[in-house]
Amino acid sequence: MTLFHSKQVLGSLIFGIALALSNSASAQQHPLADVHIHYSHDAWEIFPPKEAVAILRKAGLKYAFVSSSSDDGTQMLYAEAPDLIVPVLRPYRRRGELSTWMHDPTSLDNLRTRLSENTYAGIGEFHAYGDDIETDVLRGVIALADKYDLFLHAHSDAEAIHLIFKQDPGARVLWAHSGFEDPSMVGEILATYPRLWSDLAFRSDQAYDGEVSADWRALFEAFPDRLMIGTDTYTPERWPYVTAHAEWTREWLEDLPTDLAEKIAWRNAEGLLKAR
């Protein structure tokens, strides 16, 4: 079974699996899947692919879901470490398109071209709120995700999540930052949509000094297979933070039962990829 859409990658996938088996993350480091990494032009200028991959490996990552403005960054990293990098196609060709892309039909053309040329597991992380989902561009994105069997990594509010599933009840959606909603609202929406997963990127409220708060613990226990972690490297300066973030994450995961911690740490990310 492949983990993500494959046009040209049987060879590289076999190679990647072989490398994964010899993944060098230290035995002391519990592996993590960081599902929220960006590698945009200003990052690759400072951290070339070899250095960037070294940072990810030092952090003990088993998988890094990477999306970039432009997608060239993701492709460079994927070429450098196909065992580690899970390529996700970002609609932005450069910084500055975050709030305008959904009104620009050429961004959809760009996605079509990229999808025909490369290998991806998902489309995102994109920013879309409320009825942005009903624009032609977002409708096109959701249709492309269906066509290529990709998940959507949506930085969205709850209303947008509802509208995505209204358009395609079979979509797989990774909700960036869990919408910055409180745990009860996240739980409500996870309960509504079985094919919704949720990331915790740039959220600190789930734990205080390594202790998981009661409301988040309840959410993790109610949805043990649906939440995962991420750093969000939205500026180049955040790349060195991947390691610190991994340490911070391992600290609060220690406060959960081992099986649940392992799911949040990386198994749920793998589960999202396998849920075709």
Partner 1 sequence: MKPFALVLFSLLVCFGFAQPVVGQEKVEFTVSELAFIQSHGPWPPKMEPDPSNRFSGEPSASAWGQQLFQDVRLSQAQTLSCASCHDPDRYFADGKARSTGTSTVDRNAIALADLRLNRWFGWAGQSDNLWAQSIHPILDRREMNATVETIVQRVRQESDLAANYTAIIGKGPKEEEPLRLLVNIAKILAAYQETIRTPTSAFDLMRTRLLEDEMISEDAAVLAGLKLFVGKGKCSLCHFGPNFTNGEFHDIGLPYFIESGQVDQGRYGGIRDLKASAFNRLGEYGDEPAESAAQAPTAFVSLQHRNWGEFRVPSLRNVSKTAPYMHNGTLASLEDVVRHYSTIDIERLHADGETILKSLDLTKQEIANLVAFLKTL
The residues that touch partner 1, with contacts defined as CB under 8 A, are 46-47, 51, 95-96, 98, 127, 155, 177, 180, 202-204, 208-209, 231-232, 234-238, 240-241, 244-245, 248
Q: Which of residues 117 and 247 has its CB atom nearest to partner 1 in the complex?
A: 247
Of residues 117 and 205, the one with the C-beta less far from partner 1: 205
In DSSP terms, 20 is beta-bridged to none
86 and 65 in contact (C-beta within 8 Å)?
yes
**Which lies closer to partner 1 via its Cβ, residue 195 or residue 203?**
203
The CA R_g of the chain, rounded to the nearest whole Å, is 17
How near is the Cβ of 41 to partner 1 at its closest, in Å?
A: 12
Nearer to partner 1, 51 or 117 (CB): 51
CB of 178 to partner 1, least distance (A): 11
255 close to 227: Cβ distance less than 8 angstroms: no
For partner 1, the closer CB: 78 or 234: 234
- Residue type at position 79: A
Q: Which residues contact 257 (CB under 8 A, 6 or more apart)?
A: none
Token output for 154: 């949506």
Q: What's the closest the beta carbon of residue 237 comes to partner 1, in angstroms? A: 5
**Closest approach of partner 1 to the CB of residue 195, in Å:** 24
Give me the least distance between CB of 84 and partner 1, in Å please: 20
Least distance in angstroms from the C-beta of 240 to partner 1: 5
Q: How far apart are CA 258 and CA 204, in angstroms?
A: 21
Q: State which residue, 196 or 201, has the beta carbon closest to partner 1.
A: 201
